[in-house]
Amino acid sequence: MEESLKDIDLTGQVALVTGGGRGIGRAIAVGLANAGASVAVVARTERQIAETVQLVEKGNGKAAAYPADVSDPASVEKLAADVMERFGPIDVLVNNAAAPGSAGRDWENDPDVWWETIEINIRGPSLCSRAVLPSMIERRCGRIINVSSSSA
């Protein structure tokens, strides 16, 4: 039997969505909130995550905006601590933040742009997962979802 999103109940759960300020991340954050989760919306652009929170609240959901850089270890540790202090242990982590990088041949692209792409697309999910995993392991529950594309 096919399950629809209306059949999913995440009441009482806490979700953290990186790259939640627009696009796929925004849709995921709104969907998780519609299923009953309290959602921490994370991105670097404060205006965008505030808009996502407003969308969640319009649908009577619960969310909070957390501006953060997922490639910075101190920022990620603070983010996880702040979310857990406000909502409780994180049950669902959606690693959606990404940078497309430069198109073209690697040897013709700016190495600094390449490195920033690696930091966001690879280091970011690793740092975020590392920040939430101890609690998930201790509670013996939790989910980590990694979103990617061919440009990543």
Q: What is the pLDDT of residues 63-82, one digit of tens each?
A: 999 999 999 999 999 999 99
Distance of CA 90 to the CA centre of its chain: 11
Helix (H) or strand (E) holding 142: none
CA pair distance 59, 64, nearest whole angstrom: 14
Position of tokens 């969505």?
17
CA pair distance 84, 25, nearest whole angstrom: 20
Q: What is the pLDDT of residues 7-55, one digit of tens each?
A: 899 999 999 999 999 999 999 999 999 999 999 999 999 999 999 999 9
CA pair distance 86, 84, nearest whole angstrom: 5
Nearest to 9 by CA among 44, 33, 39: 33
Nearest to 94 by CA among 37, 151, 11: 37
Least confident interval from 5-9, 51-55, 127-131, 133-137: 5-9
What is the SS3 assignment for 145?
A: strand
The DSSP 8-state label assigned to residue 8 in this structure reads -
